[in-house]
Amino acid sequence: MIAADTSTWVAYLGGATENDAELLDQALSDKQVVMAPVVLAELLSDPKLPSQVADVLAGLPLIEITAGYWQRAGMLRARVLARGRRARLGDALIAQSCIDEDVRLLTRDHDFRALETAAGIVLLIDY
């Protein structure tokens, strides 16, 4: 199973053909995609998102938020910030969802490198 970050979803929905979009397309075909709740919220925040696309995205299996998630996400972000690295709250929440479910994250967002180093999240592509 994999999850895709908002950056990859936006590229994919825009018709991108780079490696991450191809991997996402294949995983969707194989029914191997789960949705991080924060990513779903970010995608559904686009007022121009067609309702048909919103329905498909909302129909994907959602990573469950488990007890202690918010604390773990906060501590993850704190570890990254303590190293003097950038860690946006949304990115830390996405990363923690993937860590909790042992799901690899497909992304083109360079900021996840700091989270990968701090917590061992596995990114599917190099950028």
Look-up of token digits 């993850």:
76
| pLDDT digit string, tens, across residues 33-70 | 999 999 999 999 999 999 999 999 999 999 999 999 99
CB atoms near residue 113 (< 10 Å): 17
Asked if residues 12 and 21 have their Cβ atoms less than 8 Å apart, the reply is yes
Q: What is the CATH number for 19?
A: 3.40.50.1010
Q: How far apart are CA 95 and CA 77, in angstroms?
A: 10
Q: How many domains, in total, are found in the chain?
A: 1
Assess if residue 124 is contained within a domain: no
Convert 5-24 to b/e letters by CB count within 10 Å (16 or more is b).
bbbbbbbbbeebeeebbebb
- pTM confidence score: 0.89
Assess if residue 104 is contained within a domain: yes
Assess if residue 82 is contained within a domain: yes
Assess if residue 26 is contained within a domain: yes
Assess if residue 127 is contained within a domain: no
Domain that holds residue 27: 2-113+115-119
Query: Where does the pLDDT of residue 115 fall: very low under 50, low under 70, confident under 90, or very high at 90 and above?
Result: confident
